[in-house]
Amino acid sequence: MSRTLIPLQVSDTSTFAKALRAQLVAHQGLPSHLQMLNMVAKAAGHGNMQALRARAELNSAIIRVDEEDIISKRPEAVDEKHIERVVRCFDDSRRLLRWPSRRSDQILVLWILWSQMPASVAMSERDVSGLLQEKHLFGDHALLRRELYELGLVTRTRDGSVYRRVEQPVAMNLASALRRLASR
């Protein structure tokens, strides 16, 4: 039997709880399963459960759990061509020279930028922009900041004033690309 897991990240638990409570108070009676899912998604800042699912699918964060998948899980293979393409986008100082055209390359580039952000530190939008300006040479730090957020590598408050790097397991391609960049 297969089951779909959709991760939910909340930057501020207190705000989330208040928003969820307000929806529950306004709702008459006990909400159905779907209504409750929509309330949880709205409290987390998404339009509804479908929007949360779509964003998770876009970020490849949906996990389909199947017993056979768990048994046959193999380590991720490193794609050397992919890594070499991405490494060529950086100079010797690990600054991004150009924004790659392939989405898979863009994602690995964003992971590399993520790895250069401080962990467990609240940063203002200005701080994040300053850091990204130092890390790239093509002049569009706003694109990088938005893409980091859309990919779920950073979280931000609703008003965009505070950003935080989201800690997550590192993919094999990222580890290999970072080693390749460090050896240049």
**Whole-number Å distance between alpha carbons of 111 and 175:** 10
Average confidence (pLDDT) over 114-128: 93
| Sign of the Cα pseudo-torsion (109, 145, 165, 13, in order) | negative
**Whole-number Å distance between alpha carbons of 36 and 20:** 9
**Whole-number Å distance between alpha carbons of 124 and 7:** 25
pLDDT higher for 169 or 184? 169
Average confidence (pLDDT) over 139-155: 94
Average predicted confidence (pLDDT) for the chain: 85
pLDDT of res. 113 = 96
Average confidence (pLDDT) over 82-96: 94
Half-sphere exposure of 140 (CA within 13 A, CB side): 10
% pLDDT > 90, the chain: 45
pLDDT of res. 160 = 87
pLDDT higher for 171 or 131? 131
pLDDT of res. 71 = 44
How many residues does the structure list for the chain? Answer: 184
**Whole-number Å distance between alpha carbons of 18 and 173:** 40
Residue 62: pLDDT band (50, 70, 90) is very low
Q: Looking at the chain, list the stretches that DSSP marks H as alpha helix, in order from N- to C-terminal side.
A: 13-26, 33-43, 49-58, 67-71, 80-87, 103-115, 125-135, 141-150, 172-182
* CATH code 1.10.10 region(s) in the chain: 80-182
Beta carbons within 8 Å of 63's beta carbon, 6+ residues apart: 4, 5, 7
**Whole-number Å distance between alpha carbons of 160 and 115:** 21
Q: Does domain 80-182 have CATH number 3.20.20?
A: no
Residue 4 has pLDDT above 60, yes or no: yes
| Least confident segment among 31-35, 71-75, 84-88 | 71-75
pLDDT of res. 57 = 72
Residue 39 has pLDDT above 60, yes or no: yes
pLDDT of res. 29 = 86
pLDDT of res. 67 = 47
